Amino acid sequence: MNTHFPHLLSPGQIGNMQLKNHVIMGPTETLYASSDGEITRPIIDYYVRRAKGGAGLIVVHSAQGNTKIDPIDPYAGSIRIDDNAYLPMLSQLTEEVHRAGAKISIVVSPGGGAQALGFPYDKGSQGVCEVSNVGASEKQSMVAQRKVRKLTVDEIKKSIEAYGLCAGRAKAAGFDAFYIHAVGGYLISQFMTPYFNDRDDEYGGSLENRMRFLLELIASCQKYAGKDFPLIVRMSIDEFMGDAGRGIEESKLIGKMLEEAGVAAIDCSAGIFESMHMLIPPFYLPQGVLVPLAEAMKSAVSIPVITQGRLYEPEMAENVLAEGKADFISLSRGWICEPDWVKKISEGDIKGIRKCITCNHCIGARILNNLPLRCTLNAQAGRESEQSTRIVKTNAPKKVAVIGAGPAGLEAAYILGKRGHHVHIYEASGQICGGQLQTATLPPSKDALKNIPEFYNEQLSRLPNVTLHLNCPISADNLDSVSADVVLLATGANALIPNIPGIDNENVYTAEQVLKGEVTLSGKVAVAGGGQIGGETAHFLLEKGCQVSIIEMLPAILVKEELITMLTLLNILSTAGAEILTDTKISKFNVDSVEAVNTLSGESVTVPCDAVVLAFGTTSEKSLYDVLKTKFNEVIVIGDANEVGNIQTAIHDGFFTALDI
């Protein structure tokens, strides 16, 4: 055992379940299931890979336990456990995870309730018949915005019976514990919170009545799975809804009720969909943001308490346990990004960990859009089953030149190096990721992006067949210094500067100039463009005390940002007083104002300002391509140089390109 992490790596226990360490892989929806909700080979291989990476306990993502009474899939592709027909593949999953060295649980929900975002389990219903969401009451979710039908007492009783049967199936399938999905504003949570529950029967009103559904579910699980089968309740300790929701003190009372009911542990989350930034914390929230909630729960109960929330730094996770703030650490996104998180810690390879950047591409950009889980940094996540994504040594090593050390070029060089090719990287600046990504680390709360160059610096230093040339711009003048069988052009993108009158004025600057501190602005600043660059630059300027106006031609700003990050940044901008002008097309820059036209009304708009910051996006930089083609037979353009995207598209392009060489 690595003595630097004795709390993380020492054996633990939840109920009668013995664990080899104190690290849990928390549940994250994958949408890898079959269309009928059955476990598939991609799901099995996904979890087995992380079991091999050292997880003490794997928690399989949300399985639905009552699709007849709650007829809407929370997502378009949840797994199911509400019928014995699902037992064979569930058993296959547990067997293979056990052989890989981990214990395994499954988080089961009786339904998504008012917050369900998916579609009816009765396929083909869309556009044909309307199927209502169900809930503790008729109150709608502000996110789902769907009509809700209030469950009857008879339906509640049937749900309780069906749920207990799910626990029995989980035990029969070989799961070591059963996670109760009482988190985040889904159906159980809706009964628990006054925000959703306005019932006037025995399932609403007082805390005892609001808890009745969950406590009866627990009793049903114990009836069908036995009281020796560990039950773990995953719940929001603070819903961050003010007086309308449930807070810490009431949750501590709930914790005592759960302990008395025989629950083995409490997994402490936060938020509901209306406070989604706490349910799935983006990078705008600090690391370990949810630890105080676990600490509060730990003061109220004697059973183990599990904490989560941006804990991908091993040192921080160890300190949380060492200081007694929680008993177990749960990572979800961190395991997606780095399937060997515990293995590398136990081997002392802390620098070799590929750390999550909390970009929420996995959830916000993929799952919430009904797409299978993917990771920005780990292109193999969810593709463990695919032979074509395995990194195999080449039998015919080539000399490969990579021009540009941004995310695309570095990922390509890393994979090429692991495959045995001889790689030379040429970077114009004095550091890797010295272009767009370095600038992207400068807005507030973007420090996590530094994880990317740190990872590549470490990994490339271990590959003797990869050579990095810094301060080495390649041009037509020095092309003869490059010797290669294949050239990858990964020169990224440059700021887009449209031909608008006045754009050359002395008070007009690029976002890069502002973020790098090449110019210091004050007073009234107009940010031209409301994409990710514009929004983050506006945030930067607001923190410097500027009065900021964002001018965007589209109907909304941040339209390409994933939902959770977008909502969080929108709240930051509006709270800080930013003026946001959408459907507004800039026609001219003046020394003291920006002239524009509202594209809906046709009316002229004048925005007074002392300075203008250009954030119109970027355009591909591949000017070397033609000259490269005159010397090299094979030239491949990758990343933003090929097509402007983001860090995810760049890294995945580099990864797959490297596999094809």
Residue-wise pLDDT for 348-364, tens only, equals 999 999 999 999 999 99
CB-based contact 236:269 (threshold 8 Å): yes
- For residue 109, being part of any structural domain is answered with yes
CATH code, domain with 143: 3.20.20.70
CB-based contact 341:353 (threshold 8 Å): yes
CA distances (Å), 637 to each of 29, 477, 492, in order? 34, 20, 10
Torsions phi, psi for 215 (to 5 deg): -65, -35
- For residue 362, being part of any structural domain is answered with yes
Q: Is pLDDT above 90 for 158?
A: yes
Question: Cα separation of 326 and 601, whole Å?
Answer: 56
Closest CA to 30 of 376, 390, 380, 371: 371
Residues 527 and 584 both lie in one domain: yes
- For residue 377, being part of any structural domain is answered with no
Residue-wise pLDDT for 118-155, tens only, equals: 889 988 887 887 889 999 999 999 998 999 999 999 99
pLDDT of residue 2: 60
Closest CA to 325 of 302, 300, 292, 301: 292
Torsion on CA atoms 483, 488, 489, 493, rounded to nearest 10? -150
Residues 224 and 253 both lie in one domain: yes
Residues 452 and 545 both lie in one domain: no
CATH code, domain with 528: 3.50.50.60
Residue linked to tokens 């914790």 = 255
Q: Who contacts 86 (Cβ-Cβ below 8 Å, separation ≥6)? A: 37, 38, 39, 79, 80, 169
Residue-wise pLDDT for 192-224, tens only, equals: 999 999 999 999 999 999 999 999 999 999 999
Please, which contacts does 469-475 make with residues 24 or more away whose CB atoms are closer than 8 Å? 469/424, 469/425, 469/426, 469/427, 470/405, 470/427, 470/429, 470/430, 470/431, 470/432, 471/427, 471/428, 471/429, 471/430, 472/426, 472/427, 472/428, 473/426, 473/428, 474/403, 474/426, 474/428, 474/624, 475/624
Domain that holds residue 232: 6-369
Residue-wise pLDDT for 27-74, tens only, equals: 999 999 999 999 999 999 999 999 999 999 999 999 999 999 999 999
- For residue 1, being part of any structural domain is answered with no
pLDDT of residue 128: 84
pLDDT of residue 302: 98
Residues 24 and 117 both lie in one domain: yes
Residue-wise pLDDT for 10-26, tens only, equals: 999 999 999 999 999 99
Question: Cα separation of 376 and 647, whole Å?
Answer: 7
Residue 107 CB coordination number (10 Å): 20
Q: What angle do CA 463, 467, 469 make, to 5 degrees?
A: 145
- pLDDT confidence tier of residue 432, bands split at 50, 70 and 90: very high
3-class DSSP state of 179: strand
Residues 289 and 364 both lie in one domain: yes
Exposure string of 501-525, with b = 16+ CB inside 10 Å and e = fewer, is ebbeeebbbbbbbbbeeeeebeebb
Q: Is 121 a catalytic residue?
A: no
Residues 650 and 603 both lie in one domain: no
CA distances (Å), 174 to each of 63, 90, 98, 168, 217, in order? 15, 8, 9, 10, 21
Q: Is pLDDT above 90 for 251?
A: yes
Residues 128 and 193 both lie in one domain: yes
- For residue 502, being part of any structural domain is answered with no
- Identify residue 624 by its one-letter amino acid code: L
Strands (E), 379-520: 399-403, 422-426, 466-469, 486-489, 493-495, 508-510
Q: Is pLDDT above 70 for 611?
A: yes
Q: Is pLDDT above 60 for 581?
A: yes
The last residue of a domain, from among 323, 354, 369 = 369
- pLDDT confidence tier of residue 102, bands split at 50, 70 and 90: very high
CB-based contact 15:264 (threshold 8 Å): yes
Average pLDDT of span 463-491: 96
Q: Is 0.75 surpassed by the pTM of this model? A: yes
Closest CA to 638 of 483, 451, 415, 306: 415
pLDDT of residue 126: 76
Q: Is pLDDT above 60 for 1?
A: no
Pairing of strands 486-489, 634-637: parallel
Please, which contacts does 443-448 make with residues 24 or more away whose CB atoms are closer than 8 Å? 443/515, 443/536, 443/537, 443/539, 443/540, 444/284, 444/536, 444/539, 444/540, 444/543, 445/283, 445/284, 446/283, 446/536, 448/283, 448/355, 448/356, 448/357, 448/358
CB-based contact 178:171 (threshold 8 Å): yes
Torsions phi, psi for 59 (to 5 deg): -110, 110
Average pLDDT of span 327-348: 97
- pLDDT confidence tier of residue 76, bands split at 50, 70 and 90: confident
Residue linked to tokens 């570095």 = 410
Question: Cα separation of 95 and 63, whole Å?
Answer: 18
The β-bridge partners of 324 are: none
On the CB side of 498, CA atoms within 13 Å amount to: 14
Residues 46 and 195 both lie in one domain: yes
Write down how long the chain is. Answer: 661
Q: Structure tokens of 75?
A: 């997502």
- For residue 631, being part of any structural domain is answered with yes
Torsion on CA atoms 217, 223, 229, 233, rounded to nearest 10? 10
Residues 435 and 346 both lie in one domain: no
Pairing of strands 493-495, 618-620: antiparallel
Q: Is pLDDT above 70 for 490?
A: yes
Question: Cα separation of 553 and 540, whole Å?
Answer: 21
The last residue of a domain, from among 303, 336, 369 = 369
Residues 45 and 185 both lie in one domain: yes
- Average pLDDT of the chain, as a whole number: 96
CA distances (Å), 28 to each of 89, 182, 280, 291, 373, in order? 19, 15, 10, 19, 9
Q: Is pLDDT above 80 for 379?
A: yes
- For residue 387, being part of any structural domain is answered with no
- pLDDT confidence tier of residue 75, bands split at 50, 70 and 90: confident
DSSP 298-328: HTT-SS-EEE-SS--SHHHHHHHHHTTS-SE
CA distances (Å), 392 to each of 39, 48, 457, 659, in order? 28, 20, 22, 8
CATH code, domain with 474: 3.40.50.720
pLDDT of residue 65: 97
Residues 241 and 304 both lie in one domain: yes
pLDDT of residue 526: 98
What is the domain count for the chain? 3
Exposure string of 208-219, with b = 16+ CB inside 10 Å and e = fewer, is ebbbbbbbbbbe
Question: Which of the following is catalytic: 46, 186, 224, 414?
Answer: 186
Residues 488 and 554 both lie in one domain: no
- For residue 499, being part of any structural domain is answered with no
Residue-wise pLDDT for 253-271, tens only, equals: 999 999 999 999 999 999 9
